[in-house]
Amino acid sequence: MKEVINPQLQAWARDYVWRVGSKVGPLSSSRQRKLLVVHLDGVPKALLDEAVRTGRMPFLSRLVTSGTYALDGAFWGSPASTPYFQAGFLYGLRHPNLPAYSWFDRELGRKVQMNTPTDTLAVESRLGCRPGTSLLSGGGHTYFSLFQAEANNRLCMSSLARYKVMARSLKYEMEGIVAARSQTPLSYLRSFGRDAWNSFTEIYRWGRSLRDWRHESGFLVSRVFLQRLGWSFAHTKALVDMVRGVPAVYLVYGNYDEVAHRRGPRSELALGELQRVDAYLAELYAVAQTVEPGYDLVFLTDHGHVDSHPIEQRGGQRLEDILLRGAPLPLPEDIARALLDGRPHPVDEPHAPQEPVVIESGNFSHVYLTRELEPLEAAQLVARHPEVLARAMGHPDIAIVAMRRGDSAVAIIGGGVYGPDEIDSAPLDGEFSRRAVADFLRELPHMPTAGDLVLYGQAVSKGGTVGFAWEFGSHGGLTRTETNSVICWPTNLPVDLSGLSHVTQLHERLSEVYRDGARPLVRPEPSEERWAEAT
């Protein structure tokens, strides 16, 4: 510990652990090894590598350059989005059927968004996970995750859907907060007021310069309440949890991701969040090393961010208008033959007309041309919607048009049709990850919630793509930046976390050490009851 944190921080950690420990009682647990996972949402690996090299994040830099920690790239699977990652990380699900952060849900018959608590609860309830399979089973805590995942506390998106349950748990959530505070109420209010004013003035300047305010009110609320109040609370609670001995803690830092969407991944505001979190990581590490028994602290990212150039800003039209109301275009015969793959040219059978739904999911989009429970496959698309296919494949801002073909999936790229085993020969821009494109095509048949068509924006600059949503940083696409994630772990960890090629491997390796064979914590509310409430 002496190599990476200074004596002042060591002294602070010792005093903090003593002070909080004298106010809150320890929990009973038989686990000899305890785990804290800090999820740096959306941070590109290139930025972390740069921060380590330049010292922009001094604490993380010392951790890695001292040899105390290893920092490695990881591929978690496609799509590169938080719901898919967390389902695999927390529950070990290989095919969770989560195509994006927002999509048109065929079962519910409406658009869902994973920042809507009722939607997240509905999605988590149908993941079909058996009790005891979550990484947090047996008394773990989670902060700012989407799913509760059998955690003992209720500070996640899905738990917010049950107000009465949240109200009953409020006393437990506040336990230790007063003892753990590091500022007086007056100094905290001054700091909060200063941050709120700075956020307001920045948002005013940004909206005025773009002459577009469509997301700025929501971003202001996020900056003031989620990124300042929320993170401060979650960070403090994680410190208290370590003093108490909670066996596993999963802490999600979403500030960078929120800012990158609205200002870009390399904006001054986004880079400032990396510097901010570095100081928090140092405090977490210091306490993790001070408590007995100590905590194994693991850092990770779920995806990267790329610069996003909104298609509406580039051409004056939204994607829906381009696809559904554009000029008539014929589908090239060679494309139709390739999509049919030797099958006879289909005759369009009578069907009830349905209003299409286009979901702008950042730099990719799910296009639902039917609202039936079963998605359309290539032959049906050729028969019913050849003009939509032609417009999508012919637009210069659309790089990839993916769809199901029989029991598999294919993509139209550069005027050709390619299956997952043929992607190496596709004319893809170098920004795209061929591995990720092939992986997505293999995953698409397992995602009935995904659109009939899935479109990806064209690469337009180094580290940037066309975006379909009005945002300036995107993820979920198939570029190397988005799909090359990070895992950073202590070199003395009893498990090797290098060379990971899917998020379920991370779940399995951590579960073997930190969950399996452990006796559940003694809590007033049985975990079985909590699981029944959540599902």
Residue 532: which region, alpha, beta or left (left: phi > 0; alpha: psi -120 to 50)?
Answer: alpha
CA angle 385, 372, 79 (to 5 degrees): 80
Structure tokens at 131: 């009790």
Q: What is the pLDDT of residues 70-109, one digit of tens each?
A: 999 999 999 999 999 999 999 999 999 999 999 999 999 9
Q: What is the pLDDT of residues 101-160, one digit of tens each?
A: 999 999 999 999 999 999 999 999 999 888 889 999 999 999 999 999 999 998 898 887
Q: Which of 180-194, 359-373, 492-506 has the lowest mean pLDDT?
A: 180-194
User: What are the CA-CA distances from residue 163 to residues 393, 523, 529 (Å)?
Assistant: 46, 21, 17
Pairing of the two strands 141-143 and 416-418: unpaired
Residue with tokens 């007063």, as numbered in its chain = 178
Confidence of residue 530 (pLDDT cuts 50, 70, 90): very low
Mean pLDDT of the chain: 89
Check pLDDT > 70 for residue 520. Answer: no
User: What are the CA-CA distances from residue 422 to residues 57, 374, 403, 435 (Å)?
Assistant: 41, 26, 15, 11
Structure tokens at 117: 């608590």
State the virtual CA torsion across 468, 470, 474, 478 in degrees, nearest 10. Answer: 0
Q: How many CB atoms lie within 10 A of CB 385?
A: 23
Distance CA 404, CA 517 (A): 42
- Say what percent of the chain tops pLDDT 70: 90
The residue-averaged pLDDT of 396-406 equals 97
Are 420 and 442 in contact by the 8 Å Cβ rule? The answer is yes
CATH 3.40.720.10 fits 34-179+218-304+484-534, yes or no: yes
SS3 322: helix
- The residues, ordered by sequence, that sit 6+ positions from 445 with a Cβ below 8 Å of its Cβ are 404, 407, 408, 409
Q: What is the pLDDT of residues 337-392, one digit of tens each?
A: 999 998 887 776 666 667 899 999 999 999 999 988 999 999 999 999 999 999 99
Report the first-to-last Cα separation within the chain, whole angstroms: 42
Q: How many CB atoms lie within 10 A of CB 45?
A: 21
Residue 136: which region, alpha, beta or left (left: phi > 0; alpha: psi -120 to 50)?
Answer: alpha
Check pLDDT > 80 for residue 523. Answer: no
Q: What is the pLDDT of residues 282-309, one digit of tens each?
A: 999 999 999 988 999 999 999 999 999 9
Cis peptide before 79 (omega within 30 of 0): yes
Q: Which of 15-19, 53-57, 212-216 has the lowest mean pLDDT?
A: 212-216
User: What are the CA-CA distances from residue 525 to residues 170, 207, 230, 234 (Å)?
Assistant: 14, 47, 25, 22
The structure's pTM equals 0.91
- The residues, ordered by sequence, that sit 6+ positions from 535 with a Cβ below 8 Å of its Cβ are 124, 125
Cis peptide before 293 (omega within 30 of 0): yes
Backbone angles phi, psi at 425, to 5 degrees: -95, 0
User: What are the CA-CA distances from residue 402 to residues 179, 366, 384, 438, 521 (Å)?
Assistant: 54, 10, 17, 11, 46
Distance CA 117, CA 410 (A): 34
What's the alpha-carbon Rg for the chain, to the nearest Å? 24
**The pLDDT of residue 433:** 97
Q: What is the pLDDT of residues 21-67, one digit of tens each?
A: 888 878 766 667 899 999 999 999 999 999 999 999 999 999 999 99
Q: What is the pLDDT of residues 416-448, one digit of tens each?
A: 999 999 999 999 999 999 999 999 999 999 999
Domain residue ranges of the chain, discontinuous segments joined by +: 34-179+218-304+484-534, 309-480
Are 29 and 521 in contact by the 8 Å Cβ rule? The answer is yes
- The residues, ordered by sequence, that sit 6+ positions from 49 with a Cβ below 8 Å of its Cβ are 71
Q: Which of 132-136, 225-229, 405-409 has the lowest mean pLDDT?
A: 225-229
